[in-house]
Amino acid sequence: MRTAITRSLLLAASALGLAACSTPQPLLDQANNGATLAMSLQTELAAFRATQSDISQQRLDTIRRQLASLATYQVESDFDDRIRRLAGTAASQQLYNDLRTLADSRGTDESALAKQLADIDSDLAKVLAPLPDTAQGLAATQKALALLGEELAAKDRVAAVSSFARTVKTAIDDNRQKIEAARQATPAAPVQPAASAPAR
């Protein structure tokens, strides 16, 4: 894919270069530079997806374990219910219903506490918001700078971008280390265990 893209790029660049002016070498340099940058973007996009996929997998695993546990309780409870019905323990069933309703009623007093949780959610949501689009925010600066940029030669443009590519690469390598450190430091998700062995 890389070769095909580079070929397309060179074709496009040559065609446009010949049509527009007579300095093909800087043009080709810039074109090659553009191809390298595009590949770098693809690589980082893949790395982002890998990170996202790793996190998704962890969350799915937790949900799977939660659901497996949930299903086990459901099966046991259903069987228990059938036995009790046959045994005719109406008084116990009534006590079960009463205590269940009573305990649930405490949950309805949860509103103030739920707000606390919602606040944490909203804190996290702020953190989770997508990054601002720098291209949009910089319109004014770009307009102001456009005046200065007009006479920049292609070779200078290539030099500027490729030298910044090194700066960006350094920052990205730093960030990769931070991602790995955070990944290592992330604890495994626990799943709620049973209260204790049921007394029979």
Partner 1 sequence: MQGTTRIVRLISAVSLAATVAGCGGLRIHSEVRDKQGAEAKEAWSKVDTATVIAAERGNLNKLMEAELATQDKLALAIRDHTLRAIVHAPSIETGLFQRVDEQLTRLVGKGGPKKIAAALDVRSERRTWQAKLSDAQETWSGFRLGVLAPACADFNDDATFEGRAALAAVQASPQEQPPLRRRKLGAAEALLEIQERCKAEPRADPFEGFEGVLGTARTRQLGDQEAWAQSQKAAAVRQAEYRAAAQAYAEALGDGRGTASARAQAAAVRLAQAVESLAKAPDALSRKFISKERLDSLQAFVDAVTQAGTDGKLPEGTSKAATAFVLFPKLADDARKSLTDAKAPLALPLLIQRNHEQLLLEAATREVAAREAQLRIAVAVVETAFEQARQLALARQEFDSVAAAPEVKGRSVAESFNGAAPTAKASMYRGAAFYLDALNRLEARRYKLEYQYIAAMHELQLAYAEVNVKQWSSLIGATVDQVAAASASGIKADSVVALLNTLGVFYIGYGVNK
CB 104 to partner 1: min, Å: 8
DSSP one-letter code for 196: S
Query: What is the rounded (10 degree) CA torsion for 80, 85, 87, 89?
Result: 100
90: which residues sit within 8 A by CB, 6+ positions away? Answer: none
CB 25 to partner 1: min, Å: 10
Among residues 188, 191, 200, which one has the least CA distance to residue 71?
Answer: 191
For CA atoms 82, 84, 86, 89, the dihedral sign is negative
DSSP one-letter code for 151: T
10 Å Cβ neighbour count for 158? 19
Q: Distance (Å, rounded) from C-alpha 173 to C-alpha 169? A: 6
CB 111 to partner 1: min, Å: 12
What one-letter code names the amino acid at 164?
F
Q: Is 109 helix (H, G, I), strand (E, B) or coil?
A: helix
CB 48 to partner 1: min, Å: 4
Q: Is 190 helix (H, G, I), strand (E, B) or coil?
A: coil
CB 86 to partner 1: min, Å: 13
CB 100 to partner 1: min, Å: 6
